[in-house]
Amino acid sequence: MLKEDAYCICKLYMNRPVRLQTKSGHIYDGHIVHVDAEHVYLQPQGGTGATTRGFFPYPGAGFGPGPGFYGGGAGAVQTLALFDLLAITLLLL
């Protein structure tokens, strides 16, 4: 999926339940709370799911490569790179 296409779909699905699949096969469920030109910010399903605290803006910071997290607990927001998205699915709950 092109980054520009992922951006448009994420804007369309803002504040709605989605499933995001990355090119590496990881799957994330949650609500899109923000999207910018490079990243999509996802509140994990149920409001939790982040096991680390803090935000690591680049691979290798913190506990190894992977998505970054803001906060922890009920307000956790997961950060994913738009260029790494393979599929975006709207969930009907």
Mean pLDDT of 42-56: 56
Ramachandran sector of residue 38 (left: φ over 0; alpha: ψ -120 to 50; beta: rest): alpha
CA atoms within 13 A on the CB side of 55: 9
Q: 60-79 pLDDT, tens per residue?
A: 444 434 555 555 555 689 99
User: Residue ranges per domain, the chain?
Assistant: 3-90
- What is the pLDDT confidence band of residue 1, given thresholds at 50, 70 and 90? confident
pLDDT at 48: 46
Map residue 40 onto helix, strand or coil: strand
- Tell me the fold of 3-90: SH3 type barrels. (2.30.30)
Q: pTM to 2 decimals?
A: 0.69
